[in-house]
C-alpha cells in the first residue's frame, strides 16, 4: 500500500514525469502564441503564387506582343505589379518589365488608366 501511495502523492499536479516541464520554458520567451508564426510573415500574404510563372513553365515565353499574358503583371490602373506580389524571379521580372514597356509603346497595354 505504501509504495503506490508515494508515487501518486504528487499533490502539486505539475508534470508527473518531469518531461514536459523543461520544454515549457523554451517556448515562453518567444512571445505569445508561437503557433501563429504564419500570420506574421509578410510575404505569405494573400493568394498569389510564390513560384515564378515563367520559371515554372519553360515553354511560356515572355512576349511583348502578347498583352493577354502581360496583363497578369499589370494592375487595373496600368501599373506594373511588383515582384514581391507577382512572385516572379528577378530575371523574369526584368524581362516582364521590358516587355510591358514595349507593349505600352505599341499601344497593346495602357501607360495608365483614367477613371
Interacting residue ranges for Zn ion, rule: CB under 5 A: 52, 54-55, 89, 92
Question: Which CB, 67 or 93, lies closer to Zn ion?
Answer: 93
Closest approach, Cβ 107 to Zn ion, in A, equals: 27
Torsion angle, CA of 76/79/82/83, rounded to 10 degrees?
A: 90
Question: Which CB, 89 or 108, lies closer to Zn ion?
Answer: 89
59 three-state secondary structure? coil
3-10: list long-range contacts, CB under 8 Å, 24+ apart. none
CB neighbours of 34 closer than 8 A, spacing ≥ 6? 27
Closest approach, Cβ 77 to Zn ion, in A, equals: 25
Closest approach, Cβ 33 to Zn ion, in A, equals: 35
Question: Which CB, 52 or 99, lies closer to Zn ion?
Answer: 52
Amino acid at each position: 500500500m505504501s509504495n503506490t501511495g508515494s508515487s501518486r502523492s504528487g499533490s502539486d499536479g505539475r508534470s508527473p514525469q518531469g518531461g514536459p516541464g523543461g520544454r515549457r520554458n523554451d517556448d515562453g520567451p518567444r512571445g505569445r502564441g508561437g503557433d501563429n508564426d504564419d500570420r506574421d510573415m509578410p510575404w505569405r500574404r494573400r493568394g498569389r503564387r510564390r513560384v515564378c510563372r515563367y520559371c515554372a513553365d519553360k515553354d511560356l515565353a515572355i512576349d511583348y506582343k502578347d498583352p493577354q499574358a502581360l496583363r497578369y503583371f499589370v494592375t487595373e490602373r496600368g501599373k506594373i505589379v511588383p515582384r514581391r506580389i507577382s512572385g516572379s524571379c528577378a530575371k523574369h521580372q526584368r524581362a516582364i518589365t521590358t516587355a510591358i514597356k514595349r507593349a505600352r509603346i505599341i499601344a497593346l497595354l495602357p501607360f495608365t488608366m483614367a477613371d
